[in-house]
Copies of this chain bind each other. A is one copy, B any other.
Amino acid sequence: MKRPTQADVAQLANVSRATVSYVVNNLHNNQVSDETRKRVLQAIETLGYQPDAMAQSLRLGTTNTIGLLIPDMDNPHYWHIAKGVEKETQSEDYDLLLISASLDPHRELHGVRALSRRRVDGLILILSFVDPQGSEVRQLLKQKKPLVVTNARVPEPDVDSVVINDLDGTLEAMNHLIALGHRRIGFVYGVAHQGLGSQRLEGYQQALRQIGQEADKSLIINCGTTLQDGYEGAKHLLNQSPRPTALMVINDLLAMGALRAAADLGLRVPQDVSISSFDDINLALFTNPRLTTVSVNASALGQSAARMIFNRLYDPHLPMQSVHIESRLIIRDSTGQAPVTPSS
């Protein structure tokens, strides 16, 4: 059974296709008599007619869709961002086309391309690999489509962006640990590729330098991005001797793995080892112990990004913007005084 078109409705109601369009869209400049309107509505009802969004898009040049490219679907952090985006799109009655790069450079590029082919009305790119200065992204800009990028290495001058100020939060967290007496601090650096989250690493090293430490390579473990990776990375670090008394973990997800690793090694958190991380996903408040973490408010990030899209949609001449999302340390129960007798 073919789906009914405007023409079918028109025929059944004995009017022209145009008239159907008028009643469907409640055109007020073009009044339709109550009588015909009723007939048309009736026909629509019996046929179960729904306007075809594709045809509308083609005609109007608009899709009512926002495209969102995220690096990975396995990390709650990105879910939170997506959630924020969705919240905003929902309230504007836009739909969400979600593409995950699956932490793969090829797929990421593919995603950018797919999104641009699809004529989404705006897109939000959370980039890990693709260069925002590269030709792919430039293409998009030329089309004058609202575009927001993030995770960009630098705030780009000629594209809207939302940048996370990781550095301050990281320094705050490190100073917190240092103030608690920690001197041997490990870093679980689980990222999809080198350079990502570099600000967090940078903050870690910078804080150490301030207390006269040179970054000790062996205290930085470079691992993957899954829970299991976090678990193993932390375990590796905690098995060193002398054992680090504190761990900075690149994100909460991995930190949950780290928590588990500590437990499995019979180490109490925070008595034996302190753990601090990033993101403040909502789970961080419910772990055992609750996580001390640098709060990034991913959902707000997503929402801001979406907000920027709509703002530009409604007023294309807006100057380029760069929204900064501040991070701040949330001290909970996973960090405490450094143990007085550092385990040899």
* Interface size of A in residues (CB-CB distance below 8 Å): 53
Is A73 part of the binding interface, using a Cβ–Cβ cutoff of 8 Å?
Answer: yes
Query: Which residue on chain B has the smallest CB distance to residue A257?
Result: B286
With A3-B143, A54-B63, A256-B286 as contacts: A100 and B117 at CB distance below 8 Å: no
CB distance from A260 to the nearest CB of B (A): 4
- B-facing residues in A258-303 (Cβ within 8 Å): 259-260, 263, 282-283, 285-288, 290
Query: Which residue on chain B has the smallest CB distance to residue A143?
Result: B3
Query: Which residue on chain B has the smallest CB distance to residue A139?
Result: B48
Query: Are A263 and B288 neighbours in the complex by a CB distance under 8 Å?
Result: yes
Query: Are B53 and A55 neighbours in the complex by a CB distance under 8 Å?
Result: no
Beyond A1-B143, A53-B117, 12 additional contacts (C-beta under 8 Å) are A48-B139, A48-B142, A50-B117, A54-B58, A54-B119, A73-B86, A86-B98, A95-B97, A96-B98, A227-B282, A231-B286, A257-B286
Is A144 part of the binding interface, using a Cβ–Cβ cutoff of 8 Å?
Answer: yes
Is A242 part of the binding interface, using a Cβ–Cβ cutoff of 8 Å?
Answer: no
Is A107 part of the binding interface, using a Cβ–Cβ cutoff of 8 Å?
Answer: yes
Is A51 part of the binding interface, using a Cβ–Cβ cutoff of 8 Å?
Answer: yes
Stretch at the interface among A76-84, A211-219, A313-321: A76-84
Query: Are A117 and B287 neighbours in the complex by a CB distance under 8 Å?
Result: no
Query: Are B286 and A283 neighbours in the complex by a CB distance under 8 Å?
Result: no
Bound together, the chains give a CA A44 to CA B96 distance in angstroms of: 29
> Of B51, B113, B286, which one neighbours A117 at CB under 8 angstroms?
B51
With A97-B95, A142-B1 as contacts: A113 and B50 at CB distance below 8 Å: yes
> Of B48, B54, B86, which one neighbours A57 at CB under 8 angstroms?
B54
Bound together, the chains give a CA A257 to CA B256 distance in angstroms of: 15
> Of B86, B100, B256, which one neighbours A86 at CB under 8 angstroms?
B100
Chain B residues near A98 (CB, 8 Å)?
A: 86, 96-98
Chain B residues near A48 (CB, 8 Å)?
A: 139, 142
Among A74, A95, A282, find the residue whose CB has the most chain B CB atoms closer than 10 A.
A95
Is A38 part of the binding interface, using a Cβ–Cβ cutoff of 8 Å?
Answer: no
Chain B residues near A227 (CB, 8 Å)?
A: 282-283, 285-286
Query: Are A96 and B95 neighbours in the complex by a CB distance under 8 Å?
Result: no
- B-facing residues in A30-76 (Cβ within 8 Å): 48, 50-55, 57-58, 63, 65, 73-74, 76
Query: Are B73 and A76 neighbours in the complex by a CB distance under 8 Å?
Result: no
Chain B residues near A65 (CB, 8 Å)?
A: 97
Chain B residues near A113 (CB, 8 Å)?
A: 50
Chain B residues near A55 (CB, 8 Å)?
A: 58
Query: Which residue on chain B has the smallest CB distance to residue A102?
Result: B90
CB distance from A113 to the nearest CB of B (A): 7
Is A116 part of the binding interface, using a Cβ–Cβ cutoff of 8 Å?
Answer: yes
Among A1, A65, A102, A286, find the residue whose CB has the most chain B CB atoms closer than 10 A.
A286
Chain B residues near A54 (CB, 8 Å)?
A: 54, 57-58, 63, 118-119
CB distance from A97 to the nearest CB of B (A): 6
Bound together, the chains give a CA A74 to CA B231 distance in angstroms of: 24
